[in-house]
């Protein structure tokens, strides 16, 4: 199992601090997620039924023609490499680490390079995997550039896989509306913006032939009935989406400014900030000693730390105080 954010049990053991005392800023997930209404009891007592109501809500929200519901994008990340013969796969040197693991596990040739090299590598690539925005760096690639790469790859029966886990805050940049074209695969999730990571609901937008193959690979009942109920409610709640989008953008700016005041010039998205620096591990450790968990990620010889959004004003003050102590320690 690869390491991910949110492992409070491990942090509790390492620092000797009870789990209930921790402020978890390690996941990059909306800390005030969608308020799911009570699930009707009957849904728990039967197998998931026709997914069409869920797909209808998802098609409307993502503006996508053809979709497949999946148990979180992790299901597609693991299954897609099984649908291709040996391929040359290119992805970012610093990105969501499950992609490298999944493609290598199926015997594909994987090369990890900086995103600035993607364009030059297309000619020697069968599958290009792009997280847009990237996790953890927050780096973005313009939709026009992505569509250009898709055309070049599709001409050779190649794939462009675009993971849009963090794009809900900039929906106009999504490629989901174009994903019915062969060779373009877009992954979407309810885990980040909606804060419903525990529901394990995601979608694949792609051409119908690929979706049929993926559905056969994953089997029936891929999304549980209660999870479908929660997802339909969230996808259809336009008022909550608009209010949350504005609130998260403001919170992202606040976090960026707070870190800057502490001498940490970070970058990222509205849901997290990323600081790549030789002292990043020290920041991670200093915050952890105050029971604030961040996500430390090795990036070459420097490493970095990803910091998510506090939930409420008490958590904001707690982070601010911890960063003030960090700044004082650096100036000492």
Over 60: is that where the pLDDT of 1 sits?
Answer: no
What is the distance between the alpha carbons of residues 146 and 167, in angstroms, rounded to a whole number? 14
* Predicted local distance difference test score (pLDDT) of residue 186: 98
Over 60: is that where the pLDDT of 327 sits?
Answer: yes
- The total of other beta-carbon atoms located within 10 Å of residue 54's CB is 23
What is the distance between the alpha carbons of residues 5 and 72, in angstroms, rounded to a whole number? 16
- Measure CA of the first residue to CA of the last residue in the chain; give whole Å: 40
Provide the pLDDT confidence category of residue 313 given band limits of 50, 70 and 90: very high
What number is the average pLDDT over the span 16-27? 92
Instruction: List the beta bridge partners of residue 188.
Output: 203
DSSP annotation of 39? P
Over 60: is that where the pLDDT of 8 sits?
Answer: yes
* Predicted local distance difference test score (pLDDT) of residue 7: 78
Of the candidates 27, 71, 85, the residue with the CA atom closest to the CA atom of residue 187: 71
What is the distance between the alpha carbons of residues 109 and 206, in angstroms, rounded to a whole number? 23
The gap from C-alpha 63 to its chain's centroid, in whole angstroms, comes to: 19
What is the distance between the alpha carbons of residues 228 and 10, in angstroms, rounded to a whole number? 31
Beta strands 88-92 and 109-113, pairing class? parallel
Which phi and psi (to 5°) does residue 323 adopt?
-70, -35
Instruction: Extract the runs of DSSP E, i.e. beta strands, from the chain.
Output: 23-24, 67-70, 88-92, 109-113, 127-131, 159-163, 184-189, 202-205, 267-269, 272-276, 292-293, 295-297, 304-308
Provide the pLDDT confidence category of residue 4 given band limits of 50, 70 and 90: low
Whether 163 and 187 have beta carbons less than 8 Å apart is answered as yes
pLDDT (tens digit per residue) in 234-267: 999 999 999 999 999 999 999 999 999 999 999 9
pLDDT (tens digit per residue) in 191-217: 999 999 999 999 999 999 999 999 999
Provide the pLDDT confidence category of residue 301 given band limits of 50, 70 and 90: low
Backbone torsion region of residue 169, taken as left when φ is above 0, otherwise alpha when ψ lies between -120 and 50, otherwise beta: alpha
What number is the average pLDDT over the span 129-151? 96
Over 90: is that where the pLDDT of 65 sits?
Answer: yes
DSSP annotation of 38? P
What is the distance between the alpha carbons of residues 136 and 113, in angstroms, rounded to a whole number? 15
CA dihedral angle for residue 23, residue 24, residue 30, residue 33, rounded to 10 degrees: -70
Mean pLDDT for all residues in the chain:
94
What is the distance between the alpha carbons of residues 307 and 56, in angstroms, rounded to a whole number? 35
What is the distance between the alpha carbons of residues 328 and 103, in angstroms, rounded to a whole number? 44
- Give the sign of the dihedral formed by CA 76, CA 186, CA 211, CA 47: positive
């Amino acid at each position: 199992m690869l390491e991910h954010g949110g492992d409070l049990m491990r942090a509790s053991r390492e620092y000797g601090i009870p789990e209930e005392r921790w402020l978890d800023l390690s996941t990059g997930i909306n800390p005030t997620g969608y308020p799911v209404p009570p699930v009707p009891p009957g849904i728990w007592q039967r197998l998931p039924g026709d997914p069409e109501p869920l797909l209808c809500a998802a098609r409307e929200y993502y503006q996508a023609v053809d979709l497949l519901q999946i148990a979180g994008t992790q299901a597609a990340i693991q299954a897609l490499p099984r649908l291709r013969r040996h391929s040359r796969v290119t992805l970012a040197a610093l990105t969501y680490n499950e992609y490298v693991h999944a493609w290598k596990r199926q015997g594909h040739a994987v090369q990890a390079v900086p995103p600035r090299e993607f364009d030059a590598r297309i000619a020697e690539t069968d599958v290009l995997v792009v997280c847009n925005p990237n996790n953890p760096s927050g780096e973005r690639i313009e939709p026009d550039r992505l569509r250009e790469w898709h055309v070049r790859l599709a001409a050779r029966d190649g794939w462009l896989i675009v993971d849009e886990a963090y794009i809900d805050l900039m929906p106009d940049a999504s490629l989901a509306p174009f994903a019915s074209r062969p060779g373009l695969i877009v992954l979407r999730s309810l885990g980040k913006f909606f804060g419903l990571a525990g529901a394990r609901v995601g979608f694949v937008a792609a051409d119908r032939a690929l979706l049929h193959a993926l559905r056969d690979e994953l089997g029936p009942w891929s999304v549980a009935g209660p999870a479908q109920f929660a997802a339909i409610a969230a996808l259809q709640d336009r008022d909550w989406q608009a209010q949350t989008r504005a609130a998260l953008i403001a919170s992202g700016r606040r976090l960026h400014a707070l870190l800057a005041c502490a001498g940490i010039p970070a970058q990222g998205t509205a849901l997290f900030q990323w600081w790549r620096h030789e002292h990043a591990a020290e920041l991670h450790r200093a915050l952890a000693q105050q029971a604030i968990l961040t996500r430390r990620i090795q990036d070459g010889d420097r490493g970095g730390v990803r910091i998510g959004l506090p939930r409420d004003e008490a958590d904001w003050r707690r982070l601010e105080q911890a960063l003030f102590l960090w700044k004082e320690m650096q100036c000492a």
